[in-house]
Structure 1
Amino acid sequence: MEARVDGTPPGWHTERGDASLADVHRSIAVRSSGPGWRRAAAFVGPGYLVAVGYMDPGNWATSIAGGSKFGYTLLVVALVSNIMAIVLQSLCARLAIASGRDLAQACRDAFPKPVAYVLWVLAETAIIATDIAEVIGTAIGLNLIFGIPLELGVIITALDVFLILYLQRLGFRWVEALIITLLGVIAVCFAIQIALANPNWGQVIRGFAPTTEIVTNPEMLYLALGILGATVMPHNLYLHSGIVQTRAYGETLPEKRQALKFATIDSTVALMFALLINASILILAAATFYKTGQTEVAELGDAHKLLGPLLGVAIAPTLFGIALLCCGINSTVTATLAGQIVMEGFLKIKLAPWLRRLITRGIAIIPAAAVTIWYGDAGTARLLILTQVVLSLQLSFAVFPLVMFTADKAKMGELVAPRWLIAFAYLIAVVIAALNVNLLVDFVGGAG
């Protein structure tokens, strides 16, 4: 089986075209010799941009609702979601390194145009749902800390466009440094809040054990699917397969194998760190709200107001607001990059960097502003949770193509995924699809 002229395996219909994020493609040097840790360090970064999907404001609303209503029970969903995320993100890195394509480009190459356009619309829908959650979350964070009205806060979030442009001009490493720094701030904020909340650690450990009630209780399933949608996000699959290619890892098989190993370590470690943050949101809600009988807390604003009196420390709400603001900034940056990858990969639309980012951000800000003005603070929590369920319903349309491509030796060459990994990935894809069918049946039954 001979590779194509551009060095990729022969199972693709077309030569590998222009890369998405062309301004930073293969811009980060990778050492070919020297200590292993120095070579591995070159790959640290993309995993943390992906891990941001764990901690977006929509996930906060879902986890706070789950923790306040059902205590520690849904921690097992966070754990299962994390395992799913690790497997799927490793496949994204594999696809990118083996084929030189991101997931959007691979879909455009492999499917007829009508199918590719449908997948593009679904991907854009997922990104809009993500952006709505993140824009609103950032606006709430600005409101909680500085008292800025929500409507004005939504407009201020547009400034992230200029932040990304400035940082990428300095180099993609600066974008990654911003994300990792803000993740560190979030971790410190939650560590302090968890220490103040003093949760029941025995119940926390039991919360990671599975229970059938999650599937049989429609309300619990709704929140569980929301947590799943907030964890394994469709746009993360497109994002990871694009930003892995910011590394100049070479074209030979040994270089690609090394790149795959280090990229997988990066995403796995980052997602384990994200699990700690994700679980801590739910633990904090369970240890403060559920413990005191306040089982209906779903709004981020309410959580912010209640933390001070419940924990008895004035700084607790401020820490919550700071962490939320950092989450919102991080998430808007990564969703904007994902939007760029999806637009370029599916449609081959090449625009000036500032213009394509402005379009991606505008697609999110317009509906977010409308919803914020129309519903105000009261409706944002329900909207945040709904966006996560929408993401969950979109997920299968990104997962199944990803698994199909990485299982195809003609497309992947020597880097085709091993059979055990593909079997596990198909199991994950089927479980996600089955949960979504269950959710739709419940919706239809409830409507009827």
Structure 2
Amino acid sequence: MTATIMGLLVQRLAIRLGTVTGLHLAEMCYKQYPRTPRIILWIMTEIAIIGSDIQKVIGTALAIYILSDKAVPIWGGVLITVFDTFTFLLLDKYGLRKLEFLFGFLITVMAVTFGYEYIHDPPPQIEVIKGLFVPGCAECGPEGELRAVGIVGAVIMPHNLFLHSALVKSRKVNRRDKHSVQQANMYYFIESCTVPVQL
């Protein structure tokens, strides 16, 4: 929960940057930094994006492997994941709204299935509430600490910051009118809160 809130706050800053300036994060970095820091920042961001996306590719491949009852090997799941990634990129050509609708549908399916599992096999509620507000790991060694850092890295992803600061450019906002900018920032924040930070 703490990592999600932190991710939401950083993502909100990226959204506000795009809304107020009309430039996404990459354009702002290009405009503000000299050549050498720009290149270093670009390389670091690419490494961070690869590191966070590898988890998704392997996780999806494992999920396909389990759901297919081991009929689809893990390498096959990786190929399916690569294929569906390019499918999403091609859908972008048909308009951002259609892509957003597709993601909204997938997120709804995920929320309904998670909700069903939560009701069907409920965990101890006191422990859930305690875990939400009091982060910790009893009797965890270095491996547990590594997992905790991994959770933060899985929630706060660099490509989300670039993506959300660029997505707001697709909406028409009168940046000369302070009220319009404030209103747009409010609605973008609500949108960020209603969908997962990971997108």
TM range, smaller chain: 0.7 to 0.9
Output aligned runs, 1:397-408, within 5 Å.
Answer: none
**2:176 paired with 1:176:** no
- Specify the alignment match of 2:180 in structure 1: 255
CA distance in 2, matches of 1:200, 1:161: 37
1:144-163 CA-partner distances (Å, limit 9, x unpaired): 22321111222222322542
- Specify the alignment match of 1:100 in structure 2: 22
Q: What RMSD, in angstroms, separates the aligned Cα atoms of the two structures?
A: 2.3
Structure 1 residue 142: deviation in Å?
Answer: 2.2
CA distance in 2, matches of 1:233, 1:174: 24
Report the AA paired with residue 16 of structure 2.
Answer: R
CA distance in 2, matches of 1:85, 1:245: 21
CA distance in 2, matches of 1:256, 1:218: 46
- Specify the alignment match of 1:149 in structure 2: 73
- Specify the alignment match of 1:202 in structure 2: 126
Where relative contact order (Cα < 8 A, 6+ residues apart) is larger, the structure is 2
Q: Describe the shift of the 1:136–1:170 C-alpha distance in structure 2 as closer, same or farther (beyond 3 A).
A: same
**2:175 paired with 1:233:** no
- Specify the alignment match of 1:245 in structure 2: 169
- Specify the alignment match of 2:42 in structure 1: 120
Output aligned runs, 1:342-361, within 5 Å.
Answer: none
- Specify the alignment match of 2:194 in structure 1: 269
Structure 1 residue 137: deviation in Å?
Answer: 2.1
Q: Describe the shift of the 1:211–1:264 C-alpha distance in structure 2 as closer, same or farther (beyond 3 A).
A: closer
Report the AA paired with residue 84 of structure 1.
Answer: M
Structure 1 residue 234: deviation in Å?
Answer: 1.6
Name the SS of the counterpart of 2:174 in structure 1: coil
CA distance in 1, matches of 2:136, 2:128: 18
Q: Which runs of 5+ in 2 are unaligned?
A: none
Name the SS of the counterpart of 1:250 in structure 2: coil
Name the SS of the counterpart of 2:23 in structure 1: coil
Structure 1 residue 247: deviation in Å?
Answer: 0.8
Q: Describe the shift of the 1:162–1:209 C-alpha distance in structure 2 as closer, same or farther (beyond 3 A).
A: closer
Pick the aligned partner of 1:136 from 58, 65, 80. Answer: 58
Q: Which runs of 5+ in 1 are unaligned?
A: 1-78, 275-330, 335-448
- Percent identical pairs in the alignment equals 34
Checking the alignment, whether the CA contact within 8 Å between 2:52 and 2:153 is kept in structure 1 is: no
Structure 1 residue 213: deviation in Å?
Answer: 6.0
Structure 1 residue 91: deviation in Å?
Answer: 0.7
- Specify the alignment match of 1:167 in structure 2: 91
Structure 1 residue 138: deviation in Å?
Answer: 2.2
CA distance in 2, matches of 1:162, 1:234: 20
- Specify the alignment match of 1:313 in structure 2: none
CA distance in 2, matches of 1:102, 1:266: 18
Report the AA paired with residue 164 of structure 2.
Answer: H
CA distance in 2, matches of 1:185, 1:212: 30
**2:4 paired with 1:82:** yes
CA distance in 2, matches of 1:140, 1:164: 20
- Specify the alignment match of 1:221 in structure 2: 145
Output aligned runs, 1:305-384, within 5 Å.
Answer: none
Structure 1 residue 124: deviation in Å?
Answer: 0.7
- Specify the alignment match of 2:115 in structure 1: 191
CA distance in 1, matches of 2:66, 2:141: 34
Query: Greater CA radius of gyration, 1 or 2?
Result: 1
Structure 1 residue 250: deviation in Å?
Answer: 2.6
Q: TM-score, normalised by structure 2?
A: 0.86
Report the AA paired with residue 122 of structure 1.
Answer: M
1:318-362 CA-partner distances (Å, limit 9, x unpaired): xxxxxxxxxxxxx7xx6xxxxxxxxxxxxxxxxxxxxxxxxxxxx
